[in-house]
Amino acid sequence: MTRQAPGTPAEFYDMMLAYKTTAMLDAGIELGVFDALAEAADAAPGGNGQAATAAGVAARLDIAERGARLLLNGLAALGLLESDGVTYTLQPGTAEHLVRGRPGYIGDVSKVMASRWEWDAFGSLAEAVRRGGPVVQENAETPTYGYWEQFAAFASTVAKPTAEVAAAYLAPWATDRPRLDVLDVACGHGMYGYTIAARHPQARVWSLDWPHVLAHANKHAAQLGLTDRVTTIAGDMFETPLGGPYDLVLVTNVLHHFSPERGVTLLRRLAGVMADDGLMVLVGFLTHDRPPAQDAAAHLFSVLMLVWTSAGEVHSEQTYQTMLRDSGFGPGHVSQAPSVPLSVIVAERQR
Ligand SMILES: C[S@@+](CC[C@H](N)C(=O)[O-])C[C@H]1O[C@@H](n2cnc3c(N)ncnc32)[C@H](O)[C@@H]1O
């Protein structure tokens, strides 16, 4: 979807102020403001629809009343709450998506999308543009990067739709295979591999990532009852022994961290541990041969790669095809995830 070009001062001011919206939403989630309002509504005589005051929210959360009042007014100004200036209730969408424990809850994703790591890196964007690379000492290429732990802990909800698209596409090929050994490279939360394992009882998954990230993958495997079919490999995907041979290798949301040349180095390494009839699955944003506004999510994401990596950016579909060809794979079949701007590319290893 192409964004409308801002033309008025008010529209530019809105862009300048956008970070304050992020900060207020994030603080509301972190402090449990939406949870407190939901509890107040549930506890009130008559149940739902009863309003809470700033003093009531402050007491529930053990925070300053002034802080509660000003934040609540700000959240009401953003449209997240209904308020007459004294009492506050959740708007329906806020009640559905920002109250912890409700089926539609997505608040934890804020720990990834509005994380202090991304925030810090974007804080030096102009200097990163001057240099052509990251300014922050700790970034996506730091092996002990705390963000990756946070991502593994809280991004599985976002990964689910794309993991399902990949698993559905692979199902006809995977179902009748007597053996389905899967290597999930830079697995993070592990959901791409585990979604396939949940569908196919013969599947075994090797989840590879940095050591501090794997505890979260293990937790997700346990929640899905898959622990006995999951092994972890801790270390650098460019260096650590990989085992194998694997029938399926997953490299999801990884190659945009690197130049195409580095991507080929990784893919060649992985081709070397695959079965003769193995499949490679790549997931990521794609750019196409068209104006950036038509691939907005991909180009916005590339700016994160500028502040975070020395040579990464979202690659074009053509670049992915070239990387696959140069690493010993056939042409990739590209499918688009329905609800997120991510593509799934599946390629056969060339014998
Ligand atoms: C954007 S996350 C992708 C996670 C998951 N594959 C997904 O699609 O959601 C990138 C992952 O790569 C891991 N990673 C980055 N560099 C790595 C390396 N050299 N070796 C192993 N893992 C690495 C990070 O720890 C992180 O979990």
pLDDT digits (tens, 9 = 90+) for 225-271: 999 999 999 999 999 999 999 999 999 999 999 999 999 999 999 99
The whole-angstrom separation of Cα 29 and Cα 32 is 5
The CA 68 to ligand 1 mean position distance, Å, reads 38
For the chain, percent of residues with pLDDT exceeding 70: 97
Enter the pTM of the model. Answer: 0.93
The CA 8 to ligand 1 mean position distance, Å, reads 41
Residues touching ligand 1 (Cβ under 6 Å) are 148, 151-152, 155, 159, 186-188, 192, 209-210, 213, 236-238, 252-254, 283
Looking at residue 210, what is its pLDDT? 98
CB atoms within 10 A of CB 14: 12
Report which ligand 1 atom has the smallest distance to the Cα of 240: 20
pLDDT tens column, 15-60 = 999 999 999 999 999 999 999 999 998 887 665 545 699 999 999 9
pLDDT tens column, 274-298 = 999 999 999 999 999 999 999 999 9
The CA 32 to ligand 1 mean position distance, Å, reads 30
**How confident is the model over 324-334, as a mean pLDDT?**
97
Give, using CA atoms, the residue closest to atom 14 of ligand 1. 186
Report which ligand 1 atom has the smallest distance to the Cα of 155: 9
pLDDT tens column, 79-125 = 999 999 999 999 999 999 999 999 999 999 999 999 999 999 999 99
The CA 294 to ligand 1 mean position distance, Å, reads 27
